[in-house]
């Protein structure tokens, strides 16, 4: 299950750090963070999983929850090799989960 169903105060800091308070198995809220730069890359202006360092070639990085609260979306302008900016989005729920109050990358 995606992390956002058991999270509050979700935000992106420094253009690549996903932070939130995640609920653990006991129902307690725990501060958690994951560096998305360790899991997401920029392939010529497009996000891709199992990459790294997307934030170094992006701007306007932000987080939203869309689709009646069902889709946690990372949005940014990613630059290609020519320096052209492309508005892109990535469903973080595809690979980011909550493992007992800690972010988990799957």
Task: Read off the tokens for 10.
Answer: 């979700």
Tokens of 42: 């920029």
**Taking all residues of the chain, what is their mean pLDDT, rounded to a whole number?**
96
Work out the angle at residue 6's Cα, subtended by the Cα atoms of residues 99 and 92, and round it to the nearest 5 degrees: 75
How does residue 1 score in pLDDT terms, banded at 50, 70 and 90?
A: low
Residue whose C-alpha is closest to residue 96's, from 106, 88, 86, 87? 106
| Residue 56 confidence class, pLDDT cut points 50, 70, 90 | very high
Identify the pLDDT of residue 70. 87
CATH 2.60.120.10 fits 3-105, yes or no: no
Paired tokens of 91: 């469903």
Note the pLDDT tens digit of each residue in 62-71.
999 998 878 9
pTM: 0.94
pLDDT in tens, 76-90: 999 999 999 999 999
């Amino acid at each position: 299950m995606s992390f956002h169903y058991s999270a509050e105060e979700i935000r992106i800091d420094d253009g690549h750090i996903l932070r939130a308070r995640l609920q653990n198995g006991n129902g307690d809220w725990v501060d958690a963070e994951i560096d998305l730069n360790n899991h997401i890359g920029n392939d010529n202006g497009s996000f891709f999983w199992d990459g790294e360092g997307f934030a170094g070639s992006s701007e306007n990085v932000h987080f939203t929850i869309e689709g009646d609260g069902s889709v946690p979306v990372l949005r940014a302008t990613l630059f290609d090799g020519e320096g052209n900016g492309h508005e892109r989005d990535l469903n973080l729920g595809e690979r980011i989960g909550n493992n007992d109050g800690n972010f988990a990358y799957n």
